[in-house]
């Protein structure tokens, strides 16, 4: 099995590592051992970035010896640092512009002067979750490998980014001809001190998935995994999932993840649970930027007050029912009756203040005040707090538009990581690379083998699988 010394001794290496077998830990320990050099560590999601940073912090690795980033973020910063040569002018590419960013980044790495910059900045490159690279991202890594020692780690069975028009590398075609293949990691460390039977069973599941065999959950060791049959009537599934989430329990120092296949359903169930479960936002967080732009473009102060209220209703429970009819008096110009004492008077007054002064500082105050209504829960936790941070950033006076401030804030979050919460409901895409104590997987029988494998391997202590059959036969 590959260790730190083996990885360091190879200048152009690849390692396959099943989930929970210490891939991220191996990167962290290798970088920590190589303290005299500076390492560039790349991955795909900022959940992965956060996981790597936590490992480095736990090991006490000097921050001056490593840089952790997503391939997308690092490539973007490279091309906008040389806008004349790369011809990339935007700092916030749309989905259809990313391929141009990657192509430009790879082309820049041909240039001698930029190669020198790379060599002056880093001494080695590590890429985690390599199975999720697109061919164009792979080209960037190949160029980096021509400049610096490069070690890539991944697991072909966890390649889940091949959706829509996205394309990911084929390990045999792209990796094997270009990198020395080091011994595979094969010890399920994630479960060793928590639920070793679960870890061993998941290695069996992996082997079966690799050769196209089915798995019968009922044959798992006792206490290893629980199968729960979902309702046969699809119309009952929403309430069933809500009730399952409401009954989910974990200890104070533990966390609980529910996997659902659909983003809209994740957000819906988070609302149905009254905010008990958080549903993370995508890294793009389009709702944040769309709302910021709409606020920037508000036609007048009353419209700004209305937009503030609508955003609060989107993110918080009960606000619309508690204030809606009265707040409409502010938005339509009727105004509050000065002689009357309203329920939620403070919240209404601060909304009225927006209609009077049109200041984004008042928008910030209003959101805070609306959040503090008794028994109100935040159901879009990350989105709501990113907007608060964006308003605070705007109020520093450094930006002309709220949208500009939101870009800064979202980039900062991507760099520093985020805490997903104690109870989380999400798709595999947003929790890949993360570890939870307890996991429940909804609609397990509709997941393909890569998404199912990722879902099954997130929990270290307990696993519940919900589906219409205990026989897993993913495509």
Domain boundary among 372, 390, 410: 410
Whether 93 is in a domain gets the answer: yes
Whether 39 is in a domain gets the answer: yes
Domain boundary among 156, 187, 218: 187
As beta bridge partners, residue 126 has 41, 151
The mean-pLDDT minimum among 243-252, 404-413, 452-461, 462-471 falls in 404-413
Say if CB 197 and CB 223 are below 8 A apart: yes
Q: Are residues 325 and 388 in the same domain?
A: yes
Bridge-based pairing of strands 66-70 and 39-43 is parallel
Instruction: Identify the pLDDT of residue 266.
Output: 96
Q: Are residues 114 and 243 in the same domain?
A: no
Q: Are residues 442 and 377 in the same domain?
A: no
Q: What is the pLDDT of residues 437-467, one digit of tens each?
A: 999 999 999 999 999 999 999 999 999 999 9
Q: What is the pLDDT of residues 73-97, one digit of tens each?
A: 999 999 999 999 999 988 878 778 9
Whether 310 is in a domain gets the answer: yes
Whether 451 is in a domain gets the answer: yes
Segment (H or E) for 378: none
Q: Are residues 49 and 140 in the same domain?
A: yes
Instruction: Identify the pLDDT of residue 163.
Output: 57
Q: Are residues 428 and 400 in the same domain?
A: no
Gap between the Cα atoms of 322 and 138, Å rounded: 53
Domain boundary among 187, 207, 239: 187
Q: What is the pLDDT of residues 162-204, one digit of tens each?
A: 655 679 999 999 999 999 999 999 999 999 999 999 999 999 9
Q: How large a percentage of the chain has pLDDT more than 90?
A: 87
Whether 416 is in a domain gets the answer: no
The mean-pLDDT minimum among 112-121, 153-162, 398-407 falls in 153-162
Q: Are residues 403 and 296 in the same domain?
A: yes
In terms of phi and psi (left: phi > 0; alpha: psi -120 to 50; beta: otherwise), the region of 403 is alpha
Nearest to 56, CA basis, from 36, 45, 41, 43: 41
Instruction: Identify the pLDDT of residue 29.
Output: 97
Instruction: Identify the pLDDT of residue 164.
Output: 57
Q: Are residues 35 and 171 in the same domain?
A: yes
Q: Are residues 371 and 462 in the same domain?
A: no
46: pLDDT strictly greater than 80: no
Domain count, the chain: 3
Q: Are residues 8 and 154 in the same domain?
A: yes
Q: Are residues 34 and 171 in the same domain?
A: yes
Instruction: Identify the pLDDT of residue 90.
Output: 85
The three-class DSSP label of residue 437 is: strand
Instruction: Identify the pLDDT of residue 165.
Output: 65
**Confidence label for 49 from pLDDT (cuts 50, 70 and 90):** confident
Whether 333 is in a domain gets the answer: yes
Whether 366 is in a domain gets the answer: yes
Instruction: Identify the pLDDT of residue 234.
Output: 84
Domain boundaries, position 197: 191-280+421-472
Whether 195 is in a domain gets the answer: yes
The backbone torsions φ and ψ at residue 92, rounded to the nearest 5 degrees and listed phi first, read -140, 80
Gap between the Cα atoms of 173 and 86, Å rounded: 28
The three-class DSSP label of residue 45 is: coil
Tell me, what CATH number does 53's domain have?
3.40.50.300
Gap between the Cα atoms of 425 and 428, Å rounded: 10
Instruction: Identify the pLDDT of residue 283.
Output: 82
Cα 66 to the center of its chain, rounded Å: 21
409: pLDDT strictly greater than 70: yes
DSSP states of 165-189 as a string? T-----IIIIITTTSEEPPPP---G
Segment (H or E) for 255: none
pTM for the complete prediction?
A: 0.89
Q: Are residues 9 and 158 in the same domain?
A: yes
Q: Are residues 292 and 247 in the same domain?
A: no
Q: How large a percentage of the chain has pLDDT more than 70?
A: 99
Six-digit token string for 254: 């533990």
């Amino acid at each position: 099995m590959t260790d730190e010394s083996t990885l360091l001794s190879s200048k152009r290496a690849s390692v396959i590592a099943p989930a929970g077998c210490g891939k991220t830990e191996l990167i962290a320990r290798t970088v920590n051992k190589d303290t005299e050099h500076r390492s560039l560590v790349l991955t795909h999601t900022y959940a992965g970035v956060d996981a790597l940073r936590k490992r480095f912090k736990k090991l006490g690795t000097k921050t001056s010896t490593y840089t952790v980033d997503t391939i997308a973020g690092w490539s973007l910063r490279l091309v906008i640092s040389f806008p004349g040569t790369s011809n990339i002018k935007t700092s916030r590419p749309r989905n259809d512009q990313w391929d141009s960013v990657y192509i430009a980044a790879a082309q820049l790495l041909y240039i001698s002067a930029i190669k020198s910059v790379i060599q002056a900045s880093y001494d080695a490159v590590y890429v985690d979750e390599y199975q999720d690279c697109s061919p164009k991202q792979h080209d960037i890594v190949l160029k980096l490998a021509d400049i610096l020692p490069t070690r890539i780690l991944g697991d072909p069975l966890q390649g889940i980014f091949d959706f829509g028009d996205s394309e990911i590398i084929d390990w045999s075609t792209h990796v094997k001809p270009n990198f020395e293949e080091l011994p595979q990691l094969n010890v399920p460390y994630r479960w060793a001190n928590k639920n070793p039977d679960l870890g061993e069973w998941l290695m069996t599941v992996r082997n079966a998935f690799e050769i196209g065999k089915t798995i019968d959950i009922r044959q798992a060791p006792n206490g290893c995994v629980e199968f729960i049959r979902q309702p046969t009537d699809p119309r009952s599934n929403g309430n069933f999932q809500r009730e399952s989430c409401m009954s989910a329990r974990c200890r104070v120092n533990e966390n609980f993840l529910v996997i659902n296949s659909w983003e809209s359903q994740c957000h819906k169930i988070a609302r149905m649970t009254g905010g008990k479960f958080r549903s993370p936002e995508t890294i793009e967080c389009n709702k944040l930027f769309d709302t910021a732009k709409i606020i920037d473009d508000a036609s007048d102060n009353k419209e700004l007050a209305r937009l503030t209220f609508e955003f609060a209703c989107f993110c918080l429970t009960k606000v619309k029912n508690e204030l809606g009819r009265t707040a409409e008096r502010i938005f339509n110009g009727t105004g509050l009756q000065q002689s009357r004492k309203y329920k939620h008077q403070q919240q209404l007054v601060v909304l009225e203040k927006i209609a009077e002064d049109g200041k984004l500082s008042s928008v910030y105050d209003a959101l805070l005040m609306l959040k503090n209504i008794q028994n109100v829960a935040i159901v879009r936790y990350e989105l709501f707090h990113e907007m608060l941070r964006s308003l605070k950033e705007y109020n520093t006076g450094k930006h002309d538009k709220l949208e500009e401030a939101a870009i800064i804030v979202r980039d900062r979050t991507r760099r520093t990581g985020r805490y997903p919460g104690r109870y989380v409901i999400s798709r595999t895409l947003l929790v890949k690379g993360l570890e939870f104590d307890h996991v429940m997987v909804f609609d397990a029988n509709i997941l393909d083998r890569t998404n199912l494998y990722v879902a099954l391997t997130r929990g270290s202590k307990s696993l519940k699988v919900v589906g219409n059959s205990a026989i897993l036969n993913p495509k």
